[in-house]
Structure 1
Amino acid sequence: MTMSMTKATIGLTVTHRRYVPYSHAHYAGNLVDGAYVLGLFGDVATEVCIQADGDEGLFASYSDVQFLQPLRAGDVVETKATITRVGNRSRELEFVATVVCRGRTDLSESAAEVLAEPLEITRATGTVVVPAG
């Protein structure tokens, strides 16, 4: 396969959404560990690399991670990755995770609601690398 010219451009954004099952709760109050969100950031970063460079790329590092609010089982979480810098083989990405729906077990076992405003729960900055093309 011949690698095509990169489409990596500053501002390219990819968005994923995922329901967080109750089986992922690790702590009281149905809290989910922060590593779960970092895994989601890895998934969205992989698609950014595919969209931009036709390769899954490799996650090299995080330079910053901020856990702002808790993630809970029963949430629907949206993760976004945006290219903020393009090097020869590296791409710097800004990540944001927001909760867009939240379980309401206080009302009933299966109650849930769409949040009026998404709740930003995690921000990060990371670097991915792709093969020389």
Structure 2
Amino acid sequence: MSTVGLVVTHRRYVPYAHAHYGGSLVDGAYTLGLFGDVATEVAIVGDGDEGLLAGYSEVRFLAPVQAGDVLEASCEVTRVGTRSRTLRCWADVVARAVPERGASAAAVLDPPLRVVEATATLVVPLAGTTERE
């Protein structure tokens, strides 16, 4: 069973093919998709099942995500119920393209830039069962 304090983190490069808006901006759903991937690993590590991300009770977009960013998405278990887990999710840009220096120039951001925060609910099967009820 998952424990409070379990943290899982994924890193992913944001390809230019995902830019949908001027300035190489990427839609907010991109980061929410990453949270879904991280939440799946939280369920696997903590409960031995992929679980299901049931929804978000809060999402805050704090800064833009751009093509050429390296995003670090994390989820922490903050509450454990019988079948549900409350997750604190956040995403940081840890590196970003710097096109004014050259077509392939990039820089590590120190400190990282927090771009999204969310609270999510993850649902897993009852311990000892193999089917979702």
User: Would you call these one fold, judging by a TM-score over 0.5?
Assistant: yes
Correspondence 1:55 to 2:33: no
Instruction: Report how far residue 42 of structure 1 moved.
Output: 0.2
Correspondence 1:110 to 2:133: no
Correspondence 1:98 to 2:76: no
Instruction: Report how far residue 27 of structure 1 moved.
Output: 0.4
Correspondent of 1:81 among 67, 75, 80 = 75
Matches of 2:53 and 2:9 in 1, distance apart? 17
Counterpart in the other structure of 2:118: 124
Count of residues in Structure 1 that have an aligned counterpart in Structure 2 = 127
Q: Deviations over 1:32-64 (max 9, x none)?
A: 000000000000000000000000000111000
Matches of 2:55 and 2:19 in 1, distance apart? 26
Runs of 4+ in 1 over 6 A off after TM superposition: none
Q: Deviations over 1:77-96 (max 9, x none)?
A: 00010000000000000000
RMSD (Å), alpha carbons: 0.5
2:83 alignment partner AA: R
Instruction: Report how far residue 29 of structure 1 moved.
Output: 0.4
- Aligned-partner SS, 1:41: helix
Q: Deviations over 1:83-128 (max 9, x none)?
A: 0000000000000000000000111110000012100000000001
Once the two structures are aligned, what percentage of the paired residues are identical?
61
- Aligned-partner SS, 2:50: coil
Report the TM-score when normalising by structure 1: 0.94
- Aligned-partner SS, 1:122: strand
**Where do 5+ consecutive residues of structure 2 fail to align?**
128-133
**Where do 5+ consecutive residues of structure 1 fail to align?**
1-5
- Aligned-partner SS, 1:106: helix
- Aligned-partner SS, 1:26: strand
